[in-house]
A and B are shown apart, each in its own frame.
Chain A
Amino acid sequence: MAVYKKTYRPYDGRLTGPFARLLVIPRYAFEDLHRSKFLNTFFIATLIYPLICALIIYVQHNASALQLLNVQNARGMISINVTFFLSLLGWQSVMALFMAAFVGPGQVSPDLANNGLSLYLARPFSRLEYVLGKMSILVVLMSLMTWIPGLLLFLLQGYLEGWSWMTDNARIASGIFFGSWVWILLLSLLALALSAWVKWKPAAGALMFVLFFVTSAFGATINAVERTHWGNLASISYLVGSIWVQLFEGANKTTNGAVFFRSPIGEEVPLWYCWVGLTVIVLACLYMLAHKIRGAEVVR
């Protein structure tokens, strides 16, 4: 066993820079996550769908595999197109929602529950850095689940199909990347803001699902009662789905959005309303964070 000096001594060694300090938070968080068997298993499970997609792409371009499986017109059965990638993004994004609900509330609430936050902010470490550090955990995890496998699959398909396919479908790649980031940033901010306001972890996690599923149901109810499409603005999944379709296809809409993120043809609301809707949610999250992430609470 190590023997430690039982005296106080000053420290005059080297100090790390601001960026290294910023990375301390995700490093500790990943150490914690790594210890959770459930989260490790769940994370691995989220990679099953992209693996199946990779298999489909591979089999489609492998004549001997097709012969072995005795499938003659595999290309006709599953097309590797916008719908294929939107489905992948939709499915992975729901997995990301679950991940954010499991991991997100555990980031800020333990620091706030016993005033640990004041100790973070009493160091050369700003509120913005704290939020960025906490967000980076969710951003990294959700990136590994959404746009990184998405782009890898796009590259695989492009590699097997040829350069011309890649150039013709470059919009899909940008759609995967930017569409994922819209969802990742929204989820990360929501998870942190709810975690900051509802200091009880399970409640904060449950609220994530409530916001996603209940708002969709609420929007559908408004649509049904008022016989309108404007109720869709209350649905986060619709807002995100509409933006995805625009990012993947531009003005020439041919799909109904992604699985869980439907934006049915004929039920559209102007796209800029969707952007405004998401911006309002983001601003609300930032407001909540700005009020809760403080070194000391102001008692007026």
Chain B
Amino acid sequence: MEPVIELDGLEVCFGGRPILKKLKATLTGRSIGLLGPNGAGKSTLLSTLLGFYPPSAGTARVFGRDVRTHAREVRGLIGYMPENDAFIAGMSGVRFVRLMAELAGLPREHAIERAHEAFFYVGLGEVRYRALGTYSLGMKQSAKLAQAIAHGPKLLFLDEPTNGLDPPARSRMIQLIQEIRDRGDLRLILSSHLLRDVEECCDEVLILKDGNIAAFCNLEEERRANRRFLEIETRGENNGDFVAALERQGCETAPGAQGRIKLVLPDGLEVRQIYQIAAAQNVQVRRLNHKRDSLEDIFLKAMEASNGGL
């Protein structure tokens, strides 16, 4: 897969203080999450990729284009939804999105059409002629998304897209992001400190801590790997025979206290067969969980790791 972002010893300093410290990574996912506590450097990384901050050392590439030398070209590929409010208060929503689309290079007639489409798409069709200053917080977030996608970018930067949204608005925003992702026409980078947002939208996660890469994880692979990882709780006299029977079927097992067994299913063995084996050994399966490392586990491990290194 073509790398979306390549960080090559990227360092960014403000007033001599390093904010991003020699970041090195290659991100290839369809939707990439930037995760980290406040102040970890997520927004700074996005701003650097947009050319707002010059790297003090190293560089970064977006779709192979160096952000130092091809900043304009890079920005031409990106749609940016910033974290904070970003609008012109006195301008109507659709005119604002049209302006942004034209600045991105769309001819006037296409910009008009796509601005209207984007507004309908994010659910603001009915209020598109209202001044942006009169929008509610959720509407402003949607308008920001509309301006980010109106010009059909190849890469979408979403910086805390669910900030300040109530639960229904958050669900709607996440659904929109998932729809955009699933169309496969563009790649997206979602920066958030909310694990759930990243988990629901992303297939790769870069975890930042104090300007360092604390962890990098391919959620898609994690999900695939963990799909075969089970934790069961049993009752019965023949627990030992049950474990032996599972091992004969190719399971890796790790018996624990009080009838608990962790096991990894081999390919070809289905969960249904576990129950059949248990019945054959006269063992009751009281509980069966697909145990997996949640993003929260991964995140917490990354945060606890000393010096951010994993």
Contact B114–A119 (Cβ < 8 Å): no
- Which residue in chain A gives the minimum CB-CB distance to B180? A8
A8 with B87, Cβ < 8 A, contacts A13-B107, A120-B103, A294-B52 known: no
- Known A15-B105, A126-B72; contact A116-B88, beta-carbon cutoff 8 A: yes
Minimum CB distance partner of A28 in chain B: B99
Q: Does B89 contact A (CB under 8 A)?
A: yes
How would residues 106 to 119 of chain A score, 1 for a CB under 8 Å from any chain B CB and 0 otherwise? 00001101111011
Pick from A110, A126, A298: contact of B90, CB under 8 Å: A110
Number of interface residues of A (CB under 8 A): 39
Residue B80 CB within 8 A of the other chain: yes
A295–B47 touching, CB < 8 Å: yes
CB under 8 Å from chain A, chain B span 68-106:
72-73, 75-76, 78, 80, 82, 84-91, 95, 99-100, 102-106
Q: Are A125 and B52 in contact (CB under 8 A)?
A: no
Q: Does B151 lie at the interface of the complex (its beta carbon under 8 Å from any beta carbon of A)?
A: yes
Let me know if B121 and A10 touch, CB within 8 A: no
Q: How far is the CA of A97 from the CA of B174 in the complex (A)?
A: 50
What is the size, in residues, of chain B's interface with A at 8 Å between Cβ atoms?
Answer: 52
B236 to nearest A CB, angstroms? 54
* Contact present for B80 and A11 (CB under 8 Å): no
The chain B residue with its CB closest to the CB of A121 is B52
**B51 close to A (CB within 8 Å):** yes
Residue A124 at the chain B interface, CB threshold 8 Å = yes
Residue contact B151 to A11, C-beta cutoff 8 Å = yes
Roughly how many angstroms separate A257 CA and B90 CA in the complex, as a whole number? 42
The answer to whether residues A298 and B106 also contact, given A124-B75, A126-B72 and a CB cut-off of 8 A, is: no
Interface residues of B (CB under 8 A from A): 14-15, 17, 43, 47, 50-53, 72-73, 75-76, 78, 80, 82, 84-91, 95, 99-100, 102-107, 110, 113-114, 116-117, 119-121, 125, 133, 147, 149, 151-152, 179-180, 183, 185-186
Extra 17 A-B pairs, beta carbons < 8 Å, given A114-B89, A126-B72 = A2-B116, A4-B116, A4-B119, A8-B149, A9-B117, A11-B152, A16-B105, A24-B99, A115-B82, A119-B100, A120-B103, A121-B50, A122-B78, A124-B76, A124-B105, A295-B52, A298-B14
A-B residue pairs in contact (CB < 8 Å), sample of 27: A5-B120, A6-B117, A7-B121, A9-B117, A13-B106, A13-B107, A13-B110, A15-B105, A15-B106, A15-B107, A24-B99, A24-B103, A25-B103, A28-B99, A110-B91, A114-B87, A115-B87, A118-B80, A119-B147, A122-B75, A123-B100, A123-B103, A124-B76, A125-B75, A125-B103, A295-B52, A300-B14
